[in-house]
Amino acid sequence: MTGTKLNINMLPKVRGKYKIAEPLRQYTWLNVGGPAEVMFFPEDEEDLRNFLLNKPQNSEVFVIGGGSNLLVRDGGIAGFVIKLTGAEFAKKTLQDNILYCGAGCLNFSLKQVVVENGLGGLEFLCSIPGTIGGALRSNAGCFGGDISKVLEYARVMNKNGEILTVKAEDFHFGYRSSDFPPDWIILGVGLRFEKTDVVEVQNKVAENDEYRRTHQPQGIRTAGSTFKNPEGNAAWKLIKQCGGDVMQFGGAKMSEKHCNFLQNDGTATAADIEKLCDKIANAVKQQTGIELELEIKKVGQE
């Protein structure tokens, strides 16, 4: 990112904190990418509202969750990058058959409340990387479940600082996608569950964890599934069939354990990763006629 377009003397007064030219690689699982022009960590919902109402006009805003499926380009992100780390954004409450989770909750952190309270139907969420807010935007899922199947409602804040409660049907969910207005910021979600025997839920969570340990790479810089599965097919099979499993670009390659998991060996740039994805997608298109679609999201400037 070249130069600073924002006048930092015009930043609204907040109770949270700002960081200028903050490297974003440390906030993503792929560990690549340039800086945020200005990064903002709001203290709570009211602090976020005050910021939105008083920030410089026409300045861009991007919200980053857990960074588990995000490819930030090497030029970084202009404008503001918001990360919801305040305690209010991580709260969890149970009422009747609804679990409310703040958007900043890490999905892994749901394991304790799901198991201890026997929250059947939410076991799959406990093994999805990232935050619940990010999971909603992408309709994340695994093991036969996804957000669309358990979402009751979401609380969001629009660009005018207004808080809206939105029902699940208004998101028009698709496979790993949702019809989500770009200027909405997710504050939290209400998730339906079925009261289930604690031991049964515990066993299901443990079974899911074991599957991931056995079949997916662990302890490496990756972002989960790189490409979406085409209808009636599996991305990893197409990648392997076309030789994408052994392709490499700089420090970027596909995992030997699962070739739909892109891996940074510690030296990759965002450009390396993007070029490898393009190379693999082109090979699959040329040999099979199938167009692979990225599951990871590319953001920022080259």
Helix (H/G/I), strand (E/B), else coil: 95: strand
% of the chain surpassing 90 pLDDT: 78
Q: Is the dihedral of CA 18, 131, 212, 208 positive or negative?
A: positive
Q: Which of 49, 59, 152, 176 is catalytic?
A: 176
Domain parsing of the chain, residue ranges = 8-83, 87-201, 219-288+293-297
Query: Is residue 1 very low, low, confident or very high in pLDDT (cuts 50, 70, 90)?
Result: very low
Q: What is the pLDDT of residue 27?
A: 96
Q: What is the pLDDT of residue 2?
A: 42
Whether the CB-CB separation of 29 and 131 falls below 8 Å is answered with no
Q: What is the mean pLDDT of residues 147-167?
A: 96
Which pTM does this prediction carry? 0.91
For 11-52, the pLDDT digits (tens) are 999 999 999 999 999 999 999 999 999 999 999 999 999 999
Q: Hey, what CATH class is 87-201 in? A: alpha beta
Q: Which of 45, 123, 274, 295 is catalytic?
A: 295
% of the chain surpassing 70 pLDDT: 97
Report which of 34, 53, 32 is spatially closest to residue 42, judged by C-alpha positions: 53
Chain length of the chain: 302
| Residue 221 falls in the annotated catalytic set | no
Between the ranges 55-59, 139-143, 148-152, 211-215, where is the mean pLDDT highest? 148-152
CA atoms within 13 A on the CB side of 143: 18
Fold of 8-83: 3.30.43
Q: What is the pLDDT of residue 185?
A: 97
Query: Is residue 285 very low, low, confident or very high in pLDDT (cuts 50, 70, 90)?
Result: very high
Q: Which of 68, 127, 148, 225 is catalytic?
A: 225
| Residue 225 falls in the annotated catalytic set | yes
| Cβ-Cβ contacts under 8 Å for 86 (sequence gap 6 or more) | 16, 41, 42, 43, 44, 47, 104
Query: Is residue 57 very low, low, confident or very high in pLDDT (cuts 50, 70, 90)?
Result: confident
For 88-122, the pLDDT digits (tens) are 999 999 999 999 999 999 998 999 999 999 999 99
Domain 219-288+293-297 has CATH 3.90.78.10: yes
253 phi/psi in degrees, rounded to 5:
-155, 175
Q: What is the mean pLDDT of residues 183-210?
A: 95
| Residue 213 falls in the annotated catalytic set | no
Q: What is the mean pLDDT of residues 268-283?
A: 97
